[in-house]
Structure 1
Amino acid sequence: MIARNVLANLISMAVSIAVQAGLAFGGYRLAGAEQYGLIGFFSTLLIAAAIFDAGLGQTVTRAVARDQVEAPGSAGRLVFNFTLIYGGLAALVILLVWLCSPLLAEYWLKPRDISTDSVQQSLVLMGFAIGIQRLRGAFQAVLEGLERQVVSGLLLSATGLLRLALGLGALAFVAPTAEAFLWSQILASLLETGAFALGTACVVPGAFMPQRLEAGLIWQTLRFAGANMAAAATGTLVQIADSLVVSAMLPLSVFGTYSLVSTMCSAMVRLTTPLITAVFPRMSGYVRAERAAELRSLFFAASQATFVLMLAAAGALVFFGATFIELVSGRPEAGDEFAPVLAALAIAYALSGLCRPSHALQMAEGNPVAALRINIVTGAIYLPAILWLTPRYGVILPALCLIGANLLAFILFTATAFRSRLKGAALPWLSSSVLPQLAAMVASYGLMRVIVAGPLSLSGRIGLALAASVLALGLGVLCSNHLRPHLERLRQQA
């Protein structure tokens, strides 16, 4: 079932990344750098609001997965109570963004050709779009806890394509402004949430029938999710602090291009989402049943897959960053200017992605406090550094500081993962799931740079980057002994 769910998640992830790339590519070209700066700020707020999914969403998934072991068929009561929790938090998000919009428009963002009133109106629309979309998280988490990734993936793919069509259609045919784009995203969020609610009703009989309000369940969920959401919030703050600082200290047009580069890197990290989504419920089940051998094998396989994906994607952005920026923005000068920023961000985001298997294990073990402590330590170093140094050194500085913060986080997450059920397995993990994949990436991109010399056209450079990525993926899989059996089962099922 894991292989099937990974395949379903991979398909939905591919569509999701295509949607994200399409919105970034089309949005930047249709709206321009400054208007896209507002769209980029919307993306930053979306990432911040995603602490519901990383915090509460994982709690819901874990609760549903454990409930299937202890009391199969009782998912209806969970859906009812979790929907109430999500509804209250979504309303809180809308209210907070609404109340903060005057201050953000007047003192935070720095537009040149957009009025303050238009910026404030855009911020209010962002709040509604984000709040409605977060409500979807309750239904998605339930489907994932039931290991219905196929249903969830189909819904994400369909609604993602709808979001892309509405967003680009609004910019192209209504107005090339952030306000037109955001109205389209409110409509998309309504349709998306409705589709997930319907999908949940189809797989959970009586999901929306009147249920007993379980205050104990809600309190227990919020208590566990509180530490989890705090950990997610501090981790998210570290990841988006660079965008927040750049948006506050530099012109909105500069932030627009920086946001475009950040979007490319965040799409890279999303490569790990299908994998972690598929293995997390199974990890929770193995922990609950004390099946240590299966847990160890699954963790090694998830780590190998994560390293292969992250290192291959990061290598492409590090070695061919200027090419990708030129392709997306249509401006060769932007490629030359922001290529070092993209390379630094790619390394930083890759390190963040490499933490995800260890974090999933901590969550499966019911230990969200470890992530909270790690994120507080890294944030305490990282945030003062970028606040002090960004005005002096510009956009490259937050990216370089993020590398240091995420490297420290990776070391701490890894050390914590091997303290309990995987105690004593750190060296075998390092020798089988880290070093071979790193060597494969270096060899692949280094070989391509040696073989191909001299100037190439844009299409030639893109082709070279894709060839190097395919080679890196292939070599990475070949040297991943725990991953190959899962891929073989996936091939047989396909």
Structure 2
Amino acid sequence: MRLARNMAAAMANSVVVVLINLIALPFYLRFLGMEAYGLIGFYATLQTVLQVLDLGLAPTVSREIAHGAEVGQQRRSASLLRTLGVVYIGVAVLIAALVALVAPWIGSHWLQARALPAETVAQAVMLMGVNLACRWPISLYHGALVGAHRLARSAATSMTINICAAITTIAVLAWGVRSIEAFFIVQAAFGLLHAIVLRVLARRAVGERDAPYDFRDLRRVWHFSAWMSGVAITGLVLSQFDKIVLSRVISLEPFAHYMLAALLVSGLQILTTPTLNTLFPKFSALIARGDGASLKYLYESATKLFATALFALAFGLVFQTQPLVTLWLGDAKVASEVAPLAAWLAIGSALNGIMYFPYSLQLAAGKPKLAFVTALGLLIVMIPVVLALAARFGALGGALGWASINALYVVVGTWLTGRKVMAFAGWSWLLRNAGVPALATFIPALLGAWICRTLAVGPWVALGIGGIAALVGIAIGVAGSFEPREFRRVLAMAFGRPTPAQ
């Protein structure tokens, strides 16, 4: 029952976070303007880039706590969590100081602002550092709750605080101080509250609240954490390199269009992030238990369900972005600029999402080196590809680069996982468990788009047709991937009931 509950809670959190961002965006554009929203987009990129300072410790904590629960070493896990809490506070202070130091240079020389003064941009960047510092420990305590299979608690906290933060921010901008500085101050306050609440919940979930600090214990996890640090650095550069390049080579307005497209595509995280957070500790526990049969069955069955839902959502974005943005922002011109960007970003993100399964299996099997080598190879290829495409096509080039590199990732990453980790996770897994759902959802989505274009329907009707096409694709994907008896078996596993494989 816990697997299904955690997945449902995590998915609900992802839905709420995405909806908050989508609902709040028109208010931010109205009160702050497009260039200020470009600064918010830059903050999102900066936040992701600075995750390299996590050094792979958050996923390490998840794996350690999941393993500790299986082998009866909860006290050691609790000691590790307390010790890393001190490390994270130190890193938070470092982040605030580092960003404050480079803020004037970023405001004057990096960001291409036209309407906003350089001083305002520099102050906003400085407050970004404060915001990042306040939020920094969140990943540690969220990771601890993931490893303890208490994802529902983290999700409930995230939903509550994010809703309150959005309402408060909009209220301050509407009736208080209408500035980008006020935006970041409010966000920082709620980020600090989020970190404090998660700390309390994580320590309760892990138990052994009197466990000692032990910095020597860091040596035990350093090998895994060091490779995870490399994975984090290369992975984050891979995911943000297009945005970093575009923030330099194009002005803030088209960059804001790119970030709008990225925000839309982030809706795919409704599925990807909850799946990783739910299945990674489960994979770790099954490997620690030596239950290969259940691991294989869970890996393959979960892929089929995940791929069906992911590709249905992704193809909906590919073919229906323009009517969606037109209704969302009420601006057909902006929608026409955002639509092609969102289409290619959605394709790349869907391919990347499928690879969460091989990635999770690599980490659960204790082979982060393989994940690092794969990411490093992709980064070496991506740098010249994105630079060339961005120079030639601007924002569209960044989106094309993202789609191209993830297509390569699917081919290479799947082959390496099947060869080096588990034989069942190779290309046959990709073709059967991801390829069939992709084809099943693509055809109805394409047909729906053709109907909309042929009949020249309005945006509301287009979204309705797109929604029906997605549901049809899901139905075809499930029917083509599972026999009725097998589907019932998968549901039984999700709700914690015994299955033959268990």
- Structure 1, residues 204-239: CA drift from partner, whole Å, max 9, x if none? 4453x4x43322322333442221122122111111
Give deviations 1:323-382, integer Å, cap 9, x for gaps. 122233321011112311111111111111111111000000111111221122111121
- TM-score, normalising length from structure 2? 0.91
Cα distance, 1:308–1:176 mapped onto 2, change above 3 Å: farther
Aligned-partner SS, 2:366: coil
Q: Which moved more, 1:442-451 or 1:287-296?
A: 442-451
Return the alpha-carbon distance in structure 1 between the equivalents of residues 94 and 149 of structure 2.
29
Q: Distance in 2 between matches of 1:30 and 1:471?
A: 40
Q: Deviations over 1:75-129 (max 9, x none)?
A: 4323211212222222222222222212211111010011111111111111111
Q: Out of 367-376 and 443-452, give the one that drifted further.
A: 443-452
Amino acid at match of 2:350: A
* Structure-2 change in CA distance of 1:415 and 1:248 (3 Å): same
Bigger mean CA deviation after superposition, 412-421 or 177-186: 412-421
Query: Which residue in 1 is equivalent to 2:491?
Result: 487
Post-superposition CA distance 1:219-273 (Å, at most 9, x none): 3334422211221221111111111111111111221121111111123134211
Q: CA deviation at 1:43?
A: 1.2
What is the Cα deviation at residue 135 of structure 1? 0.7
**AA paired with 1:49?**
L
Structure 2 match to 1:218: 218
> Number of aligned pairs?
491
Paired residue type of 1:165? I
Q: Tell me the amino acid that sits aligned with residue 490 of structure 2.
A: H
SS at match of 2:419: coil
Structure-2 residue corresponding to 1:38: 39
Taking the TM superposition and a 5 Å limit, the aligned residue runs for 1:260-409 are 260-409=260-409
Give the C-alpha shift of residue 414 in structure 1. Answer: 0.9
Q: Which residue of 2 aligns with 1:185?
A: 187
SS in 2 for 1:213: coil
The alpha-carbon distance between structure 1 residues 28 and 464, as it changes in their structure 2 partners (threshold 3 A), is farther
Compute the displacement of 1:59 (Å): 0.8
Measure, in 2, the Cα distance between the counterparts of 1:447 and 1:488. Answer: 34
Q: Distance in 1 between matches of 2:339 and 2:468?
A: 20
Q: Which residue identity does 1:219 align to in structure 2?
A: R
Q: Corresponding residue for 2:465?
A: 464
Match of 2:213, SS state, is: coil
What SS does the corresponding residue of 2:318 show, helix, strand or coil?
Answer: helix
Unaligned regions of 5+ residues in structure 2, if any?
Answer: 498-502
Moved more, 9-18 or 243-252: 9-18
In percent, how many aligned pairs have the same letter? 25
Root-mean-square deviation (CA, aligned residues, Å) is 2.3
Residue 166 of structure 2 is aligned with which of 153, 164, 167?
A: 164
Deviates more, 1:212-221 or 1:49-58: 49-58
Aligned to 1:116: 118
1:229 and 2:229 aligned:
yes
Q: Report the CA distance between 1:281 and its aligned residue.
A: 0.8
The alpha-carbon distance between structure 1 residues 115 and 233, as it changes in their structure 2 partners (threshold 3 A), is: same
Superposed displacement of residue 308, structure 1:
1.8
Q: Contact 2:61–2:81 (CA<8 Å) still a contact in 1?
A: no
Deviates more, 1:443-452 or 1:102-111: 443-452
Residues 58-87 of structure 1, C-alpha deviations (whole Å, 9 max, x = no match): 111001111112224414323211212222
Check conservation: 1:51, 1:236, Cα contact below 8 A.
yes
Give the one of 152, 155, 166 matched to 1:153.
Answer: 155
Given that residues 449 and 466 in structure 2 are in contact (C-alpha distance below 8 angstroms), is that contact kept between their aligned partners in structure 1?
Answer: no
Residue 56 of structure 1, CA deviation: 2.1
Give 1:174's aligned amino acid: G
Residues 87/364 of structure 1: CA separation in 2 closer, same or farther (3 Å cut): same
Q: Distance in 2 between matches of 1:288 and 1:163?
A: 40
Query: Cα gap change, 1:118/1:170 in structure 2, threshold over 3 Å: closer, same or farther?
Result: same
- 2-structure distance, mates of 1:315, 1:8: 25
| 1:391, distance to aligned residue in structure 2 (A) | 3.1
The one-letter code sitting in structure 2 at the alignment partner of 1:486 is: V
- Cα distance change on mapping 1:492 and 1:416 into 2, 3 Å: closer
- Whether the 8 Å contact between 1:272 and 1:309 is mirrored in structure 2 is no
**CA distance 1:176–1:491, shift in 2 (3 Å):** farther
Question: CA offsets per residue over residues 29-56 of structure 1, 9 Å max, x none?
Answer: 4322111000111111222234567932
1:82 to 72, 81, 84: 84
CA distance change for structure 1 residues 165 and 485 in 2, over 3 Å: closer, same or farther?
farther
User: How much has 1:149 moved relative to structure 2?
Assistant: 1.4
Inter-partner Cα distance in structure 1 for 2:55 and 2:323: 33
Alpha-carbon distance in 1 for matches of 2:435, 2:139: 36
Deviation at 1:462, TM superposition (A): 2.2
Q: Which residue number in structure 2 is paired with residue 249 of structure 1?
A: 249
- Offset of residue 283 of structure 1: 0.4
CA gap 1:298/1:45 in 2 versus in 1, 3 angstroms? same
**Does the CA contact (< 8 Å) of 1:261 and 1:325 recur in 2?**
no
Distance between the aligned counterparts of 2:51 and 2:174, measured in 1? 28
Q: Do the aligned partners of 1:316 and 1:469 also contact (CA within 8 Å) in 2? A: yes
8 Å contact from structure 1 (residues 166, 188) kept in 2: no
What is the match of residue 500 of structure 2? Answer: none
Tell me how far apart the structure 2 counterparts of residues 97 and 283 of structure 1 sit (CA, whole Å): 37
Task: Report the CA distance shift for 1:51/1:480 in structure 2 as closer, same or farther (over 3 A).
Answer: farther
Change (3 A) 1:484 1:177: farther
Shift of 1:473: 2.6
Between 385-394 and 136-145, report the one with greater CA deviation: 385-394
